[in-house]
Amino acid sequence: MSLSPAELKAISVAAQWYARLHSGVATDADRSAWNDWLVADPDHLQAWQRMAAVGEQMASVPGALASPALRGADLSRRQVVRSVLLLASASSIGWLGWRSEISQSLVADFRTDVGERREFRLADGSSLLLNTDTSVNLRFDGKQRVLELLSGEILVTTAADPLQRPFKVLTRHGEVLALGTRFIVRSQTPGGEVAVLEKAVQVRPAGGGAMVRLEAGQSMAFNARSVGTLRRNDASVGAWQQGSIIAIDRPLGELLADISRYRSGVLRCDPRISQLKVSGAFPIDNTDRALAALESGLSLRVTRYSRYWVNVSSGDPS
């Protein structure tokens, strides 16, 4: 059974809610927020029913598997999520799509929630900054240093390695080889993007072909079959490190799609105004402020059906 991206996302969030509510430490505020999420979209209710079905199967599993998953109040949220998903992988429930990006992301070595940014120091001295809703697996051994970017966006600052192991970032679309550098890689469904801040990298599509070199100050999009045209970085590249999205004559629809990465739920743009050009700096740590700035500065109408369903349209009633 094939699931849409919205359904997969709902299942991911349902798994996290299931873990929180069965952790033994859920508060009344947690339960209220869960209820708000549940009624915000029919996909949420369907995803929760599926997750509850997994829970019912788990309740019938004896001993060590069932008890930690359903009653272990001292387990971490990630451990509970892992228990839920491990049971699902052993069952015949096809809806969870066990080899999907969503299931991998939930148990990744490094991950961030929607709206969160986190920095990690790696064993070799390199640093890794994860942008919103990002998941990464780490594969360091005696021969190589590999980051597998499952989804999202990362900023990598590599450290010199006494063993001279190559440092790579792998995505579903291709690989990025660091050449002693500081760079950003983003992976999304259509393709990947890389931007070099210091020194250089080489990029090769997953489908094969020659490596393409990017120098400091250059960016490029790529997919599994080909690489795009080299372009110069502008002020918007990496602005998320400082908590902003910088738009330079950017279509409103694209800007709102970017803002939506930093907030839960649905943020829709009326197609009739999606090509309206926008410039400015917009905060990502408070996306409601960003929407308020657009509403007042461009005379738009921001309609909030709930905390998780927002529509942006023209302020002109005609």
**What confidence score (pLDDT) does residue 265 get?**
86
Q: Which of 86, 91, 93 is nearest to 64 (CA)?
A: 86
**What confidence score (pLDDT) does residue 34 get?**
81
Q: 54, 88 in Cβ contact below 8 A?
A: yes
SS3 call for 1: coil
**What confidence score (pLDDT) does residue 14 get?**
79
Distance CA 77, CA 60 (A): 21
The predicted model scores a pTM of 0.69
Architecture of domain 115-232: Sandwich (2.60)
The domain segmentation of the chain, as residue ranges, is: 5-107, 115-232, 239-314
Q: Which residues contact 68 (CB under 8 A, 6 or more apart)?
A: 75, 79, 80, 83
Distance CA 219, CA 233 (A): 6
**What confidence score (pLDDT) does residue 33 get?**
84
Architecture of domain 239-314: 3-Layer(bab) Sandwich (3.55)
Q: Which of 68, 89, 65 is nearest to 19 (CA)?
A: 68
Q: Which of 41, 20, 18, 31 is nearest to 307 (CA)?
A: 41
**What confidence score (pLDDT) does residue 189 get?**
82
Tokens 């929630």, residue located: 113
pLDDT per residue of the chain (318 residues) written in tens, 0 to 9: 456 677 777 877 877 777 677 656 677 787 788 878 887 887 888 777 766 655 544 444 443 333 333 333 334 445 445 544 444 444 334 444 434 555 566 678 899 989 999 999 999 999 999 999 999 999 999 999 999 999 999 999 999 999 999 999 999 999 999 998 999 999 988 899 999 999 999 999 999 888 999 999 999 999 999 999 999 998 889 999 999 999 999 999 999 999 999 998 889 999 999 999 999 999 999 999 999 999 998 889 999 988 889 999 997 765
Give strand pairing partners of 231: 219
**What confidence score (pLDDT) does residue 18 get?**
73
Distance CA 255, CA 277 (A): 9
**What confidence score (pLDDT) does residue 235 get?**
83
Distance CA 69, CA 84 (A): 7
The full length of the chain comes to 318
**What confidence score (pLDDT) does residue 169 get?**
98
Give strand pairing partners of 245: 282
